[in-house]
Amino acid sequence: MSGGVDSAVAAARAVEAGHEVVGVHLALSRMPGTLRTGSRGCCTVEDSMDAQRAANIMGIPYYVWDFSERFKLDVVDDFIAEYAAGRTPNPCMRCNEKIKFAALLEKAMALGFDAVCTGHYASILTDADGNKQLHRAAAWAKDQSYVLGVLTADQINHSMFPLGATPTKAEVRAEAAERGFSVANKPDSYDICFIPDGDTKGWLGERVAPVTGDILDREGNTLGQHDGAVAFTVGQRKGLSIGTPAADGKPRFVLEVRPVTNTVVVGPKEALAIKEIAGNRYTWAGLAPEHPEVAFPCHVQIRAHADPVPAVAQVVSTTAVTGVRGSVELRIIPNEPLAGVAPGQTAVVYVGTRVLGQCTIDRTVSAVPVSVTSASTASASPVPVNA
Amino acid sequence: MVVYLDHAATTPMLPAAIAAYAEAMSVVGNPASVHSQGQNAKRMLEESREIVATSLACDPIEVVFTGSGTEAINLGIKGLYWARAPRRRILVPGGEHHATLDTVEWLAQHDGAVIEWIPLDHDGRIDLDALADAIARDPLDVALVSVIMANNEVGTIEPVAEAAALAAVHGIPVHVDAVAAYGYLPVDFRTLAATGVSALSVSAHKVGGPVGIGALVLGRATTVEPLIHGGGQQRKVRSGTQDVAAAVSFAVAASAITVEQRADSLSPAARGVEAARLAALRDRVIVGVARVAPDAVLNGDPITRLPGNAHFSFPGCEGDSLLFLLDAAGVSVSTGSACQAGVPEPSHVLRAMGRSESESRGALRITLGHSSTDADVDALLAALPAAHAQALAAGMADRVPGR
């Protein structure tokens, strides 16, 4: 119970469904913040009190469990490391994967509980053979199945999402008010819970030392210098500080961040279009497809609030590339090229409303091939820096 | 049926204290008023002060009622520090209650105090040699020494008189936090004062009185600067209309202590009847826990400890898992350490005793009090095997593996 309205109503519904429910608030920080207005989803003293008040009203025991050490390692440090590695991580997914449905579930099961019940908007359905499947919530506007895409079959078997069938958030708020929960009108949490002021860039800047490096074009020519590759995200246009305009006069965008060489690659907007994404860290949410190596039609979603797009996915051997025997990746080819894709993001694969699985993107292929002709001429004479 | 084994957090109010509280609340009158009703309130207040003074073996004028034990400790420490300006050094053992720790840390951050932490031994006892050395380094600059009489977490009884004697040689005032000791050990201010103690703090709700009233025993010769200014009540040390009803209720609880323990000496060996009864129950807990979990470690001094306190570390278990499982079985216990937003912090007391952070988090405190019975211990020992086995299985799921 985060102290928000969703988990409070979810708990109340679980109680009414006849389950023996215990409210648990996760302490994710050793230093709970001071009183802040609104919910940040975690760590504040007020949130813990709100969760406890809701538990009191529904008459269930309530405890705070301290996962701050795990959270710091698996979510906060991971977030920093991913950024430092030039990727764009989603800490909420990492929290679901490592904390809520892993460390918490593990501890709860050991203490005699059967399942973790949360206020996520998603549904668990059972197929004809009795296998649990993860599906989108009834209300697509609130659907949170994307951030649950990392759940495995075992985790789904021990999860409950009582809000999945609720048509609107307004209904949840009305129900909370009817039940006398003080959190009925509490604002939704937003941003990243461990970055209290919402300034992600500033927060990262304090933790990842920026190192000056080169800005390159797609052909490898140096166009200028940056103050730290970590500060750039794929698709970014502003703040590139390149003196010389592109040959065609069109604006340039960040296409790639390469932390190993500390370089930022820029190019035309068209080059942002991605025709293929792949990742070797993939999971199946429930029963795995019988023949994942055979290309199958699906929809792919690359951000929590992005629209799903039609695609074809398959598991492909990468032994020829990696040299590692048996190495594979989940490869997803959208029917139309996708914009705004960056390594580190999670691609969730749907079949209809069902979440089939996900991969963390570690490779993308641009829809616009690099022109080889311009490469040789420019690279010999680097463009002077003009900050 | 819920079994309450967390008497160190708070102990049930005595029925007589509740009745006296309710009755006194219906009496109108400010004890500072001159008219008859004021005089009546004043009479009730001062009678109560006398009874509380008797329970602490001090003179009534030396009892300053406060709003809590924490306020008493704040008044004792800050009041002495300010009265002793410009002296800067405060000598404090590392395992004190947060009321002391946070107060001296505040003085260090805001008022130039220099804190010197006196180490504890493995059993949680203050290192008297280290205290003597610390005093000797610059005795003229020591503002005060503050020592807990018995540790609220691990139950170790501290050599308060010996510590006070070391300070008294140099005329350094000593404050004693007797909140955890009061009601369980004889607290004899007159004897302590003779060794050098200047001020001593207690709280009513630890002895069957109400929450919301404590007392600072302030020796006649001792001066403190007040925290609270106003009408000049109570030797001008603690302004504010005095809470007659709370004092009356406190006195009822204090009188129970007086009857049971007054004949005792400071030696824990010469226990009062109630202390002996609690010690017998506690020893049943210690033996029973050892049977269920042979690897459990009894923290604190095994002999010189509070009669109602049993504090353990259970290797491989989270203290909060055990707490949860016992709670589910109807037995209320504590992890012992302070909580922030419901999260038990790693015990600074165990840390000060030289334990690792991991050991400092797996602790469980079982504390007995006036309402505890053999049946309570039976219920605990019946619930413990299953809880312990399950907590072991749950292990350290919330920890980072390998740490």
Q: How far is A42 from chain B (nearest CA, A)?
A: 12
Q: Are residues B378 and B302 in the same domain?
A: yes
> For residue A49, which residues of chain B lie inside 8 Å, CB to CB?
341
Are A210-272+369-379 and A274-366 in the same CATH fold?
no
Picking from B241, B261, B281, the residue at the C-terminal end of a domain is B261
Q: Are residues B221 and B189 in the same domain?
A: yes
**Can you give the pLDDT at residue B344?**
66
Q: Who contacts B223 (Cβ-Cβ below 8 Å, separation ≥6)?
A: B83
> For residue A107, which residues of chain B lie inside 8 Å, CB to CB?
321, 394, 397-398
Kindly determine whether residue A66 and residue B397, on different chains, have CB atoms separated by under 8 Å: no
**Residue B402 in domain:** no
Enter the DSSP assignment of A251: -
**Can you give the pLDDT at residue B339?**
64
Would you place residue B402 in the very low, low, confident or very high pLDDT band (cuts 50, 70, 90)? very low
How long is chain B?
403
Q: Are residues B142 and B237 in the same domain?
A: yes
Kindly report which listed range (A146-155, B249-258, B299-308, B376-385) carries the lowest average pLDDT score: B249-258
Average pLDDT over residues A74-84: 90
Helix (H, G, I), strand (E, B) or coil at B145: strand
Fold observed for domain A5-119+162-185: Rossmann fold (3.40.50)
**Residue B401 in domain:** no
Give me the number of domains chain B comprises.
Answer: 2
Average pLDDT over residues A65-73: 88
Query: Which has more pLDDT, A381 or A353?
Result: A353
Q: Within 10 A of B364 (CB to CB), how many other CB atoms are there? A: 28
Cα(B201)–Cα(B331) distance, integer angstroms: 30
Enter the DSSP assignment of B372: -
Kindly report which listed range (A334-348, B222-236, B389-403) carries the lowest average pLDDT score: B389-403
Enter the DSSP assignment of B99: H
Are B247 and B210 within 8 A, CB to CB? no
How long is chain A?
387
> For residue A45, which residues of chain B lie inside 8 Å, CB to CB?
340-341
Are A176 and A26 within 8 A, CB to CB? no
Cα(B161)–Cα(B182) distance, integer angstroms: 16
Give the up-direction half-sphere exposure of residue B338: CA atoms within 13 A in the CB hemisphere.
12
Average pLDDT over residues A108-128: 95
Region of A344 on the Ramachandran plot (φ > 0 left; ψ -120 to 50 alpha; else beta): left
**Can you give the pLDDT at residue B97?**
95
Cα(B260)–Cα(B276) distance, integer angstroms: 11
Q: Are residues B200 and B279 in the same domain?
A: no
pLDDT at residue A34 greater than cutoff 60 = no
**Domain spans in chain A, listed from the N-terminal domain onward:** 5-119+162-185, 210-272+369-379, 274-366
Q: Are residues B169 and B297 in the same domain?
A: no
What's the Cα-to-Cα distance from B303 to each of B128, B150, B282, rounded to whole Å? 19, 13, 11
What's the Cα-to-Cα distance from B203 to each of A52, A98, B211, rounded to whole Å? 28, 45, 8
CATH class of residue range A274-366: mainly beta
- The answer to whether residue B339 is catalytic is yes
Picking from B207, B235, B261, the residue at the C-terminal end of a domain is B261
**Could you tell me which residues are beta bridge partners of residue B365?**
B311, B334
What's the Cα-to-Cα distance from B119 to each of B103, B200, B214, rounded to whole Å? 18, 21, 28
For chains A and B, CB pairs below 8 A equal 59
Cα(A265)–Cα(A223) distance, integer angstroms: 9
**Residue B322 in domain:** yes
**Catalytic entry in B19, B339, B375, B386:** B339
Q: Who contacts B232 (Cβ-Cβ below 8 Å, separation ≥6)?
A: B239
pLDDT at residue B141 greater than cutoff 70 = yes
Cα(A20)–Cα(B195) distance, integer angstroms: 58
Q: Are residues B92 and B235 in the same domain?
A: yes
Picking from B226, B245, B261, the residue at the C-terminal end of a domain is B261
How large is the ipTM? Answer: 0.82
Helix (H, G, I), strand (E, B) or coil at B10: coil
Query: B1, B9, B24: which is closest to B246 by C-alpha?
Result: B24
Would you place residue B401 in the very low, low, confident or very high pLDDT band (cuts 50, 70, 90)? low
Would you place residue B400 in the very low, low, confident or very high pLDDT band (cuts 50, 70, 90)? low
Q: Within 10 A of B106 (CB to CB), how many other CB atoms are there? A: 14
Q: How far is B328 from chain A (nearest CA, A)?
A: 9
Q: Are residues B200 and B301 in the same domain?
A: no
CB-closest option in A66, A73, A104 to B400 = A73
Are A320 and A213 within 8 A, CB to CB? no
Q: Are residues B207 and B276 in the same domain?
A: no
Tens digit of pLDDT for each residue in A306-351? 899 999 999 999 988 888 888 999 999 999 999 888 888 999 999 9
Cα(B258)–Cα(B169) distance, integer angstroms: 31
Mean pLDDT, chain B, whole residue set: 92
Are B211 and B205 within 8 A, CB to CB? yes
Q: Are residues B119 and B245 in the same domain?
A: yes
Q: Are residues B145 and B128 in the same domain?
A: yes
pLDDT at residue B262 greater than cutoff 70 = no
Q: Return the active site residues of A.
A: 95, 193
Domain enclosing residue B378, as ranges = 3-11+268-394
**Can you give the pLDDT at residue A373?**
42
Average pLDDT over residues B241-253: 97
pTM value is 0.84
Q: Who contacts A197 (Cβ-Cβ below 8 Å, separation ≥6)?
A: A203
Q: Are residues B305 and B241 in the same domain?
A: no
HEC sequence for B263-296: CCCCCCCCCCHHHHHHHHHHHHHHHHHHHHCCCC
Q: Which helix H or strand E contains A191, and what residues bound it?
A: none
Q: Are residues B112 and B67 in the same domain?
A: yes
Q: How far is A68 from chain B (nearest CA, A)?
A: 8
**Peptide bond just before B86 cis, omega within 30 deg:** yes
Query: B292, B403, B304: which is closest to B346 by C-alpha?
Result: B403
pLDDT at residue A380 greater than cutoff 60 = no
Cα(B209)–Cα(B252) distance, integer angstroms: 7
Query: A192, A193, A189, A142: which is closest to A169 by C-alpha?
Result: A142
Counts for chain A of helices (H) and strands (E), in that order: 11, 18
Interface test with B, best of A25, A53, A65 (most B CBs within 10 A): A65
B296: CATH: 3.90.1150.10
Tokens of B324: 């949860």
> What DSSP string runs through A57-122?
HHT--EEEEE-HHHHIIIIIHHHHHHHHTT----HHHHHIIIIIIIIHHHHHHHTT---EE---SE
**Residue B156 in domain:** yes
φ, ψ (nearest 5 deg) of residue B117: -80, 125
pLDDT at residue B249 greater than cutoff 50 = yes
Tokens of B388: 């312990």
Fold observed for domain A210-272+369-379: SH3 type barrels. (2.30.30)
E strands in B251-392: 297-298, 309-313, 331-332, 339-340, 343-344, 363-367
Average pLDDT over residues A201-227: 86
